[in-house]
Structure 1
Amino acid sequence: MSDIDDTEMRDDEAVEEEHKMYGQDAMTEQELGEKYPNRPRNHSKTLPFHDLFLTLFNPLSENRKKPLGPAIARRKLGPHGQIQNPNDVRRSLIERFIARWRKEVGNDIYPAFRLIVPEKDRDRAMYGLKEVTLGKLLIRIMKIDKNSEDGYNLMHWKLPAVKAAMAGDFAGRCFEAISKRPMRVTPGNMTIAEVNELLDKLSVAQKEENQRPIIEEFYNRMNAEELKWLIRMILRQMKVGATEKTFFEVWHPDAENLFNISSNLRRVCWELYDPKVRLEGEDAGINLMQCFQPQLAAFQMRTMEQMVARMKPTEEDPAFWIEEKLDGERMQLHMMEDESVPGGKRFGFWSRKAKDYTYLYGNGFQDEKAALTRHIKTAFNSGVRNIILDGEMITWDPKVDALVPFGTLKTAALSQQANPFSDGNRPLFRVFDCLYLNDVNLTRYTLRKRREALNASITSIHRRLEIHDYQEAHKASEIEPLLRQVVAESSEGLVLKNPRSEYRLNDRNDDWMKVKPEYMSEFGEALDCVVIGGYYGSGKRGGGISSFLCGLRVDQPDIDQGADPMKCHSFFKVGGGFAAADYAEIRHRLEGKWIEYDPKKPPIDFIELAGGDRQYEKPDVWIKPSDSVVLSVKAASVTPTNQFRPGYTLRFPRFRKLRTDKDWTQALSIQEFKNLKACAEEEKNEKQFKVEDARRKKQIVKRKRETVIQGHESEIKTPYAGPTTKVFEGHNFLIMTESLKPNKKSKAELEQLVKANGGNVVASEKDPKTILIADRNLVKVASMQKKDQRNIIRPSWLLDCVKQGEIDVGRPSLLLPFEPQHFFYATSAEAGHYDHNIDEYGDSYTRDVTAEQLLDLFSKMPTHFDHGERSRKRYNGNNVLNRLIEEDPGLDAIPGRIFHGLSIYCKDVSPETARLIPFAGGHVVDKIEDDQVTQVVICKNSVALKEIRKAVAARARPPRIVTEDWVADSWRERTLLDEERYMPL
């Protein structure tokens, strides 16, 4: 149904619902009408709230759980019987919901989108509710004891619990507690509009006593599943299996672009309700006083040489820029002429998340509450009528003329509002880009041109508003000295920028790349600290302690003066670098020794935290130092902080190993740390360090092999059975039929194939471990299918196993995992269990494909197309993966990223190891002389060890030499393990 302007043609209930829903809005109905004169109007009431999860959230979540390569039997079929992959299913679900909304409700989908992507709704204020507060409210509403099983589980949602949802899933815990005592069993009758109306009230209530009646009304009118999704909306942690990008693409081809330039969900819904009407001209670009989604720096994924090469330098222009990465809050400044504002200029400030900070930094030169604008009257050169600047807001301490660590910015700004000319901490805006000048959008200009516009428009105001410096470089070798400098100064890192690049909204690409000094080779590798606390994980790491609080031991002289000999000071938290075996070993050694941390009765005789009564970084559980273990960690550097007791902490700490040879009395003490820090500062200019990649991208490199035939035809008395391997050793096979097309083989030939490759051929299926092989539905085969007790495998699997094992001649080999195509029949109990062994197009993760098979796979892949001729974006796998990792950091541990960024030379290693490295994202180097080599992998007791050490000894940064167990163990543990554990003897 088309948009209807005549109110009389709309349902009275729809008009009343709209009035209630938007009556809570900060803008009046008149203001909304003036700002959005062509806004759509719904002709009917909004859908029931429960339709959101019944027809959208739950199906999307189920689709998300499916592996990328589902078996044909489990794939959904389209209207014409075609197979749909999960991506198609996801899009189809969203399309159906939007089509239903247009038909049954109207063209104003804003009420639904506010609940579907609540984290993108900037019109509704934050609720001020976190898990703990929500848990307390629900306990009171349900009238249960906080010490009861459900009460305890709600208040300790990160802790593992018997018969409770997975630790770390707060909404799941709420669902279980509410399900036992629901006010409703069936879904309630609340509409989407009614939920929005109550959520608006909740956002302005703020105080707990005002919020409780609203939560209680939800509790009375919703069932447990509705409340579970409502809680996720309040926490803005939906994760339904589709991002806002997908919803935007389905809603309108220009929706994502409009959101990028405006950060306004309402505008996306109200201006782009007709897919046939496209954005044009100024509407498609950034505008004054309209918050946009800024360009972001890509994660470091390559060596420095490769990163520079990705910026595509030319002979005429080989330059790239190096900037210091600032430790503050990304901020955009808008300024325009406005005679209604004292001083004639109006300002606007927005963060990367589109939060409006104008109230803090000022709306004009004469704003008496401004923490910044009243100090920068002379910053803008004459002739600047309007401008948009991109930069970083940081905290500066004028007393020591130094940057203050992140986390103090708002406090400093509020202090400047109250005392504008004090010498206390103040906000400092560092500008690195100019995107709009005197009515001209500069995003299509190169960075070099935009910098020229910035320099011509802005004059730096010392320690208030400054143009951020950069250094022009031409070689990758120029990066390292600057990186060493930022490590010494405890800075955030570097950003490499391509001066030939345009500004791309809401995008991470190779034009801007972060270079972080993740870990150094010397400093921090000898830091052995005692564990004094633990933190339970959430999500995938829920159910156990996932990170540890480590401390510095109080020194003996202090003990003699009356201090407790068992006391430690909190120093840092570490949660990276642990393998499953490491967690298991620590858990075994500390079992029964953990004590729940009670903030009301802190263990001050054993542990001293920072912050006094505030107890900064308090753990979930603590342990007496004398009962604990010592961890060896490495780190990038030491940085000042008020969050840990010594006033310092480690940047990017990472677990190396468990020091079973040390007890807590031999761990690092406070004075020993001070001495170590002093020595490190003295030698900082001589330090050599290496950058270890913290993010590894999935990059599967497939290698084609030539067929190797063992033996000579004259030596084979039976028909050729393939290469002689041991791939089937220890396994029994019942061959029931011949093999059909395309690899025709008789039953006798298949039996010979099995025997030639180490297997046994049997005549009975009685042994349940016997593998059944068939390619035709004979009587015996049909009889076994009817019993539904045994899988029947196609002969093609035998051939695939032999092909894959031919490079491992003479070595025991593992059988190839089954793939959906290998099954002639799968029992109902095991149907779909092997879908994860292929990708969404049927490509195997463990088996090489032929050229013909590869062409067949390509034919199944959808072609990429742009939405509209004006679209300038192209699909970029790196950008998609980076965006996913930003939204869900847990994805950083996917197997295909383990060795990403590493260049590895292999010597005398097994074929399995050689295949695994590129499969896990690493690059195998052919020659050890290659300067890019980061690790050398050899087999144990290799005779070439001495020769290899000699070959790499003279290098400035010699590669680590490790045994091949390092590769296998890192793959098994799904994390890059420390190389020192695997150094050859």
Structure 2
Amino acid sequence: MAEDDTEMRDEDAVEEEHMMYGHGTMTEEELNEKYPNRPHNHSKTLPFHDLFLTLFNPLNENKKKPTGPVTARKKQGPHGPHTSPNEIRRAIIERFISRWRKEVGNDIYPAFRLIVPEKDRDRGMYGLKEMILGKLLIRVMKINKNSEDGYNLLHWKLPGVKSTSAMAGDFAGRCFEVISKRPMRTTPGDMTIAEVNELLDRLSVAQKEENQRPIIEEFYKRMNAEELMWLIRMILRQMKVGATEKTIFDIWHPDAENLFNISSSLRRVCWELYDPDVRLEGDDRGICLMQCFQPQLAAFQMRSMEQMVAKMNQTEDDPTFWIEEKLDGERMQLHMVEDDEVPGGMRFGFWSRKAKDYTYLYGNGFLDENAALTRHIKDAFNDGVRNVILDGEMITWDPREDTMVPFGTLKTAALSEQKNPFSTGNRPLYRVFDCLYLNDVNLTRYTLRKRREALVASITSIHRRMEIHEYHEARQASEIEPLLRQVVAEASEGLVLKNPRSEYRLNERNDDWIKVKPEYMTEFGEALDCVVIGGYYGSGNRGGKLSSFLCGLRVDDIHVSQGANPQKCWSFFKVGGGFAAGDYAEVRHRTEGKWFDWDVKNPPKEWIELGGQDRQYERPDVWIKPEDSIVISVKAASVAPTDQFRTGLTLRFPRFKKLRVDKDWKSALSVNEFHALKSRAEDEKKDKQFKVDDARRKRSGRKRKREVIIQGQEDDVKTPYAGPATKVFEGLNFLIVTEALKPVKKSKADLEQLVKANGGNVVASEKDPSTIIIADRNLVKVASLQKRDERNIVRPPWLIDCVKQSELDIGRPSLLLPFEPHHLFYTRTSEAGKYDHNIDEYGDSYARDVTADELLALFNRMPAKITHDYDSAEVLEQLNEHGHELDAMPGCMFHGLTVYCEGGVTAEARRLLEFADGRIAKSLTDSELTHVVVPKDSPKLRDVRKAVSSNKEQPRIVTEAWVVDSWQEKTLLDEEREHSSP
């Protein structure tokens, strides 16, 4: 197809391609050699403005379509009746791609570089952020930086001067406002996508302002305001077009996402997969040497340690799982391959999780004199290792204290090590936890245990330079907590649980790797009362308004020099979560007219000290004198060291609780008072357990009656055996050969009691042909029965499903469920396929009610009609790791809360709790219970308080108004305000 395209190409297309690819990092000849079958367009690329007129704008309009709180409302629209937004999104992208193939050709790489610029690793960074771009535009448009428009560009987060401030918080939108007043063009320009790419390539290598300015001027002359707005979003790599790269990749080619995962190369996705009918096969689907891939990621912890361990797929023969310390560094993959042209004979490559090449920093060979790492690790690779790919974490190590340094100093340490390789200062240390490729063999399909064997056989640890990361082998959930306590005491991040029987899955989060982070109990009482000393303007819906605040600690007399301002404060933390609209209004009312713009050249040092001294870390947009300010009460998860705030410490995940109108700056928390509070809390915390500890230890004492499970799969209710619960097994004989392994483990004795409790008989022999044989493992007895091929062997879940369905059908005759294919461990040859008709094509049962988990599994097995446009786990991780609160997002507002709803609570409140990521408890004795919701003026309040009085952790008792008001305000409100139950 590529050859045919070449024959049909016009001269403009050939010239355009030479323009785009003739001045990059590779010459056109090198490109032809590396990609001999790459496609060539037969015509010129589309006009640049077609990108937003036919793709971006329609996608954004579709994104604005209203959806309900649970499911998307389907509307009559131009794409047909009852078309969902997801289907419309796909149709828009498909239409653009189809047009490109028809009018331009099969090389869509020029367009994709602009559609998903954040995935383009071939073009370097521009070195341009909002402030620098604003200054460049001011010079290009020849406007005064102190004019209204100049001020608006340089202070894009602030409300515009004499402006509606609709674009506050949106830099590209603010640029559109300013450029629209003085455009060089009022209609879209004539630049093609190829021409824009060629200029952006030049911009990425220009770096210095004097070289960048002529390029920006060229764009300004040839584009109208809307074109420039989208161009700026491409430069900032902040597109937000209403569709993710996953959706776009999937529509381009079914293997596109997989190829990007193993290569991190947008160029390869476009040039190797231009024909949807040609699929990746064999080695093309796996990782390769010197080719960056998207690594496997760890999932978030679940409700309890037992549940996490249950996800490790333990078996009776191999019940182990591994526990590793979670390192606070930068995920890094190391590639090493033999190369005679490199001094030392080995060539290295280093890439981060985001595919950034760090080879220049850590070294390209053993003899690289500018290497921060490779010149120290020649003895790390055992004899016979010709090539290898390692996965690990690059951390900062302090050799003087022999301890890990918190994240944020890695690059500084590496640069220092480059200059002075034998200093005693901080240095990079590479901790290796996986081996994915060894001597031309891709190991990703091997189990973690096998990969570990390969790692140990090929690598020898070099002390405090490159070390194999240790792990602890465990069998029980109770083994996790002591290790968690230990790593937290050493100021580590937490733990990672790993399944040693698992394969390596690129760019995926699953239950094979699970992160465990400690959630502290309240350390400092209910809240800290701190004075507000600064404010930050928001973006999006909060653009042009103060949306978060800088809080400080009063400087005590011993810290204040003679004659200094007694109101002086040190910056301590920023808080933006938990404020309702009414709270913002109250803050505005009490502080209106009292704010001052922060002057970088003349900061108010007599009032406020920031972190970083002259660097002014976390400087606010505006500041306020403590005597004119307010005191707010906040609660937080814990305290962490930092250099970003003057106190040297800050709060992790602070949340606004209430406005302390009864306090002024003099009664707010001081530096000394906080340190005393912290010291006392640390002493008290030593003997307390973490909130995450959910281990249910067996109690010794009086002998109990034997327990039997008489309910279904998820929430097993245990009760002493007291005769039949249902009559579903009445008159039937059962031979129980093995225990149950899935979906939950149950012993053989438990299964026998389950049969008896529901009217059945347990026998010791299968001689009676009517006896139902139950087994879940291939023991000698089971293998013998299979060999005879005379009887079906049924899995234990069929017993549980029968009991569960009978309990749901109370009042009706108890009927056995027909067998479904997954119910049978072995089906005799004469009945092969007999039970397939008991389920539909996706595995949905015709005879029983499926659980929520089963329904989700069914949906996952169905062919993808709608593509999800985001990885929810990745979004949560980014929020968590960057210090944002999950409850700041309406869809995750009740994340981490376990709530019991008393009778009388409305269905609306229950739906909101579940929709916004809360878990509904089934009883007041739930060990994870955090809240109890009661109707207003509930007569059962006294009974509720009595019922929860013995709980280890006392839940908050609130009215359902707290749920509804939090949803309306789009933030988790404090429980003790008007929402608490009297």
Shorter-chain TM-score category? Answer: 0.7 to 0.9
Residue in 2 aligned with 1:903? 898
| Number of matched pairs | 812
Residue in 2 aligned with 1:548? 549
Structure 2 distance, partners of 1:67, 1:692, is 41
1:734-749 paired onto structure 2 within 5 Å? none
Of residues 342-351 and 631-640 in structure 1, the stretch that sits farther from structure 2 once superposed is 631-640
Structure 2 distance, partners of 1:886, 1:190, is 39
Of residues 597-606 and 975-984 in structure 1, the stretch that sits farther from structure 2 once superposed is 975-984
Task: Give the superposition deviation at 1:350.
Answer: 0.2
The answer as to whether partners of 1:905 and 1:928 remain within 8 angstroms in 2 is yes
Residue in 2 aligned with 1:86? 85
Kindly indicate whether residue 15 of structure 2 is the aligned counterpart of residue 16 of structure 1. yes
Residue in 2 aligned with 1:976? 972
Instruction: Assess, with a 3 A threshold, how the Cα gap between structure 1 residues 659 and 515 changes in structure 2: closer, same or farther.
Output: farther
The answer as to whether partners of 2:523 and 2:685 remain within 8 angstroms in 1 is no
1:445-844 paired onto structure 2 within 5 Å? 445-523=446-524, 525-559=526-560, 561-690=562-691
Residue in 2 aligned with 1:881? 872
Task: Give the superposition deviation at 1:918.
Answer: 3.0
Kindly indicate whether residue 241 of structure 2 is the aligned counterpart of residue 264 of structure 1. no
What is the letter of the counterpart of residue 642 of structure 2?
T
Structure 1 distance, partners of 2:235, 2:98, is 26
Kindly indicate whether residue 43 of structure 2 is the aligned counterpart of residue 44 of structure 1. yes
Q: Residues 188-233 of structure 1: CA distance to partner in whole angstroms, max 9, x if unpaired?
A: 1111111001000000011111111100000000011111110010
Which of 74, 77, 94 matches 1:75?
77
Residue in 2 aligned with 1:103? 102
Structure 2 distance, partners of 1:60, 1:415, is 47
Q: Residues 567-596 of structure 1: CA distance to partner in whole angstroms, max 9, x if unpaired?
A: 001112222232333322222222221111
Instruction: Assess, with a 3 A threshold, how the Cα gap between structure 1 residues 405 and 349 changes in structure 2: closer, same or farther.
Output: same
What is the letter of the counterpart of residue 272 of structure 1?
L
Residue in 2 aligned with 1:964? 960
Instruction: Assess, with a 3 A threshold, how the Cα gap between structure 1 residues 657 and 488 changes in structure 2: closer, same or farther.
Output: farther
Q: Residues 340-391 of structure 1: CA distance to partner in whole angstroms, max 9, x if unpaired?
A: 2222221110011111000100111111111011111222222322211111
Structure 1 distance, partners of 2:878, 2:327, is 21
What is the letter of the counterpart of residue 555 of structure 1?
D
Residue in 2 aligned with 1:28? 27
Instruction: Assess, with a 3 A threshold, how the Cα gap between structure 1 residues 935 and 585 changes in structure 2: closer, same or farther.
Output: same
Paired residue secondary structure (1:347): strand
Of residues 258-267 and 514-523 in structure 1, the stretch that sits farther from structure 2 once superposed is 514-523
1:176-195 paired onto structure 2 within 5 Å? 176-195=177-196
The answer as to whether partners of 1:909 and 1:937 remain within 8 angstroms in 2 is no
Task: Give the superposition deviation at 1:886.
Answer: 6.1
What is the letter of the counterpart of residue 56 of structure 2?
F
What is the letter of the counterpart of residue 593 of structure 1?
K
Residue in 1 aligned with 2:278? 277
The answer as to whether partners of 2:612 and 2:643 remain within 8 angstroms in 1 is yes
Structure 2 distance, partners of 1:87, 1:485, is 47
The answer as to whether partners of 2:5 and 2:42 remain within 8 angstroms in 1 is no
Of residues 103-112 and 912-921 in structure 1, the stretch that sits farther from structure 2 once superposed is 912-921
Instruction: Assess, with a 3 A threshold, how the Cα gap between structure 1 residues 896 and 412 changes in structure 2: closer, same or farther.
Output: closer
The answer as to whether partners of 2:328 and 2:493 remain within 8 angstroms in 1 is yes
Residue in 1 aligned with 2:794? none
Q: Which has the higher contact order (CA 8 A, sep 6+)?
A: 1
The answer as to whether partners of 2:530 and 2:553 remain within 8 angstroms in 1 is yes
Structure 1 distance, partners of 2:905, 2:642, is 47
Structure 1 distance, partners of 2:863, 2:285, is 16
Instruction: Assess, with a 3 A threshold, how the Cα gap between structure 1 residues 471 and 973 changes in structure 2: closer, same or farther.
Output: farther
Task: Give the superposition deviation at 1:955.
Answer: 4.0
Structure 1 distance, partners of 2:876, 2:912, is 23
Instruction: Assess, with a 3 A threshold, how the Cα gap between structure 1 residues 934 and 307 changes in structure 2: closer, same or farther.
Output: farther
Q: Residues 259-294 of structure 1: CA distance to partner in whole angstroms, max 9, x if unpaired?
A: 000001111111111111111111100111110011
Q: Residues 227-260 of structure 1: CA distance to partner in whole angstroms, max 9, x if unpaired?
A: 1110010000111111111111111111111000
The answer as to whether partners of 2:16 and 2:194 remain within 8 angstroms in 1 is yes
Residue in 1 aligned with 2:914? 918
Paired residue secondary structure (1:4): helix
Instruction: Assess, with a 3 A threshold, how the Cα gap between structure 1 residues 948 and 975 changes in structure 2: closer, same or farther.
Output: same
Fraction of identical pairs, as percent: 74
Instruction: Assess, with a 3 A threshold, how the Cα gap between structure 1 residues 656 and 469 changes in structure 2: closer, same or farther.
Output: farther
Instruction: Assess, with a 3 A threshold, how the Cα gap between structure 1 residues 932 and 566 changes in structure 2: closer, same or farther.
Output: closer
RMSD: 2.9
Instruction: Assess, with a 3 A threshold, how the Cα gap between structure 1 residues 517 and 642 changes in structure 2: closer, same or farther.
Output: same
Instruction: Assess, with a 3 A threshold, how the Cα gap between structure 1 residues 539 and 491 changes in structure 2: closer, same or farther.
Output: farther
Structure 2 distance, partners of 1:878, 1:77, is 20
Instruction: Assess, with a 3 A threshold, how the Cα gap between structure 1 residues 485 and 121 changes in structure 2: closer, same or farther.
Output: same
Task: Give the superposition deviation at 1:540.
Answer: 3.5
Task: Give the superposition deviation at 1:941.
Answer: 5.4
Structure 2 distance, partners of 1:516, 1:603, is 39
Instruction: Assess, with a 3 A threshold, how the Cα gap between structure 1 residues 498 and 655 changes in structure 2: closer, same or farther.
Output: farther
Residue in 1 aligned with 2:148? 149
Instruction: Assess, with a 3 A threshold, how the Cα gap between structure 1 residues 485 and 593 changes in structure 2: closer, same or farther.
Output: farther
Structure 1 distance, partners of 2:188, 2:204, is 24
What is the letter of the counterpart of residue 572 of structure 1?
F
Residue in 1 aligned with 2:426? 425
Instruction: Assess, with a 3 A threshold, how the Cα gap between structure 1 residues 490 and 948 changes in structure 2: closer, same or farther.
Output: farther
Task: Give the superposition deviation at 1:484.
Answer: 4.0
Unaligned runs of 5+ in 1: 694-850, 868-873
The answer as to whether partners of 1:257 and 1:284 remain within 8 angstroms in 2 is yes
Of residues 966-975 and 403-412 in structure 1, the stretch that sits farther from structure 2 once superposed is 966-975
Task: Give the superposition deviation at 1:669.
Answer: 1.3
The answer as to whether partners of 2:537 and 2:543 remain within 8 angstroms in 1 is yes
Instruction: Assess, with a 3 A threshold, how the Cα gap between structure 1 residues 72 and 287 changes in structure 2: closer, same or farther.
Output: closer
The answer as to whether partners of 1:529 and 1:668 remain within 8 angstroms in 2 is yes
What is the letter of the counterpart of residue 575 of structure 2?
V
Residue in 2 aligned with 1:841? none
Structure 2 distance, partners of 1:692, 1:477, is 9
What is the letter of the counterpart of residue 552 of structure 2?
G
Q: Residues 573-632 of structure 1: CA distance to partner in whole angstroms, max 9, x if unpaired?
A: 222232333322222222221111010110011001122221111111111111112222
Instruction: Assess, with a 3 A threshold, how the Cα gap between structure 1 residues 379 and 523 changes in structure 2: closer, same or farther.
Output: farther
Of residues 367-376 and 513-522 in structure 1, the stretch that sits farther from structure 2 once superposed is 513-522
Paired residue secondary structure (2:95): helix
Of residues 554-563 and 345-354 in structure 1, the stretch that sits farther from structure 2 once superposed is 554-563
Kindly indicate whether residue 297 of structure 2 is the aligned counterpart of residue 296 of structure 1. yes
Structure 2 distance, partners of 1:207, 1:625, is 42
Structure 2 distance, partners of 1:170, 1:65, is 20
TM-score, normalised to structure 2, is 0.78
Residue in 2 aligned with 1:935? 931
Structure 2 distance, partners of 1:914, 1:108, is 51
Task: Give the superposition deviation at 1:305.
Answer: 3.7
The answer as to whether partners of 1:365 and 1:374 remain within 8 angstroms in 2 is yes
Structure 2 distance, partners of 1:256, 1:349, is 22
Paired residue secondary structure (2:686): helix
Instruction: Assess, with a 3 A threshold, how the Cα gap between structure 1 residues 175 and 40 changes in structure 2: closer, same or farther.
Output: same
Residue in 2 aligned with 1:54? 53
The answer as to whether partners of 1:183 and 1:220 remain within 8 angstroms in 2 is yes
Residue in 2 aligned with 1:405? 406
Task: Give the superposition deviation at 1:885.
Answer: 5.3
Instruction: Assess, with a 3 A threshold, how the Cα gap between structure 1 residues 533 and 863 changes in structure 2: closer, same or farther.
Output: closer
The answer as to whether partners of 1:509 and 1:879 remain within 8 angstroms in 2 is no
What is the letter of the counterpart of residue 961 of structure 1?
I
Structure 2 distance, partners of 1:228, 1:891, is 30
Residue in 2 aligned with 1:128? 127
